A and B are shown apart, each in its own frame.
Chain A
Amino acid sequence: MPLRRGESTASRSGPDGLPRLLPADTTRPEGLRGHLARHGFVPYRNDRLRLAGDLRAAGLTGRGGASFPVYRKLEAVTAVGGRPFVVANGAESEPASSKDASLMWLAPHLVLDGLQLAVEAVGAHEACLYVHDTEGGQLTSALQSALSERWSARIDRVPVRLAVAPPRFLAGQETAMVNLLNGGLALPTFAPPRVFERGVAGAPTLVQNVETLAHIGLIARYGADWFRRVGTRAEPGSMLSTINHADGSVRIIEAAIGTPLRSLLAADLGTDGIDGPAQAILAGGYHGTWIPAPRAAELTLDNAGLRPVGASVGAGVLAALPAAHCGLAETARVAHYLALESAGQCGPCLNGLPRIAKGLATLAGMRPPRQVRKDIERWAGLVAGRGACSHPDGSVRFVRSALTVFAAELRHHERGVCSATARRPFLPLPPATALSDEDWS
């Protein structure tokens, strides 16, 4: 294989337009040879601080849900001192999301380039790729071969261990992940210390989503200006999004941040959100926010654009709920799942989420007592902000938005009518969620 190490990457111009992260041929994974032909050798910096500077100029933020500026994390981890550890978070525990699995499957080497560059930038000696295996072992074995191939070709400077995330919603939360990697269960811990201060094996730990790392692999090659060619001024670049369409199909797309939802969800919203098959859009997944379809048709896929309706891009999940389905019933199903996924460690979360879920199940039925909605609202206030992790906050955001967006449907239910004609569950959930203790490890 022709690995020309001295090759100047600066002469390469980045890909025009989109997609940037995913290869043109999405029918099969891009191997090492194809990857190097497309992007050239890993542009190691041989300098710790340069990458953070480029990422700051690029304005790259995390793609795992919180949109936190990446350069600030690099700086925070470096400032602690000692030998940092880096984790690529590919747990993708959100049931309605599959963008990370698709990226790791189709373009594993771009993610792994970004991981090595992040390792170099913080001066780490060890790294880990943390994945939730979906395809019956297919994804982890493909990643393992990719890692071995890179090691033999001397592309990677630091060995990367592969770790498998348990199939739990909280498994991708960073303190739960660190707990698991340290030999414990995948349960959140109470910060401080934050993982950037003390994480895996007590080392300052940098945790980045796998898509974030893939963007690093591109920015290091093509520069900040190239990265900013798409996206908005405040939120530059592109992002992967898992789109759960109203017809039941699921698509992974790479969109410029700030793209109108109307164009991403054209088949669902129609021209104005009234003439399409969707009644509401769920933005940001099961910790996200319901938006009425006509309102969604006016919004864009960026945090600034979604803020007026209390939503954020999160990890890029969009779901279009067809008009034939009951929004309250769908919300109740998901709330039940979220309650079962509570790690049950904190009193308010342990007590509140199951009550909220039960209340929603009552609202999803006929003639719910008026008090039930008031109870749900009170419990929502009692769980938000009172857990060791943000699971209750996210769950409550989702539930509260449903009570607003499906308020008209709730009035129907109070009169004993449900306007839904389809009874089949719509939003994706893992098959069985009554899990035993072992499933946390």
Chain B
Amino acid sequence: MSTATDMDKQLRVNPIECSGHGACAELLPEMISLDEWGYPLIDPRPVPPALERQARRAVNGCPVLALQLGRKP
């Protein structure tokens, strides 16, 4: 059994807000790619600590604030 810690952060996109800018995929290519229509496909696994700063940059880089980094729901 794994315990949820503050380290267990997950990326989530609000699909209503997301307009497919693709900025997130450029800032975090390790975890985000784009589908054939330009919308992000996000790695559902917890963000590894080594990528957390970059993940935050992707979150802040989304022009419509559609990308979220949070605890697993």
Contacts and interface: CB of A to CB of B under 8 A. Distances in A.
Interface in B1-46: 14-20, 35-39
A192 B38 contact: no
Nearest to A349: B15
A interface, how many residues as a size bin? Answer: 10 to 19
B73 A192 contact: yes
Contact of B15 (A192, A347, A382): A347
A385 to B, nearest CB: 9
Nearest to A382: B35
B16 A190 contact: yes
B36 A346 contact: no
A71 B44 CA distance: 31
Interface string A379-422: 00010001110000000000000000000000000000000000
A386 B32 CA distance: 14
Most chain A beta carbons < 10 A, residue from B17, B20, B35, B36? B35
B16 A388 contact: yes
A345 B36 contact: no
A59 to B, nearest CB: 26
Contacts of A189: 16
Contacts of B39: 347-348, 351, 386
Contacts of B18: 346-347
Contact of A346 (B16, B35, B38): B16
A316 B21 CA distance: 41
Contact of B14 (A348, A351, A352, A388): A388
A347 B17 contact: no
B37 A190 contact: no
B14 A190 contact: yes
Given A190-B17, A382-B37, A388-B15, 12 more contacts: A189-B16, A190-B16, A346-B15, A346-B16, A347-B15, A347-B18, A347-B38, A349-B15, A351-B39, A382-B35, A386-B39, A388-B14
7 contacts: A346-B16, A347-B18, A351-B37, A352-B37, A382-B35, A386-B15, A388-B16
Interface of B: 14-20, 35-39, 73
Interface of A: 188-190, 192, 345-349, 351-352, 382, 386-388
Closest 6 CB pairs of A and B: A346-B15, A347-B39, A351-B37, A345-B16, A190-B14, A388-B16
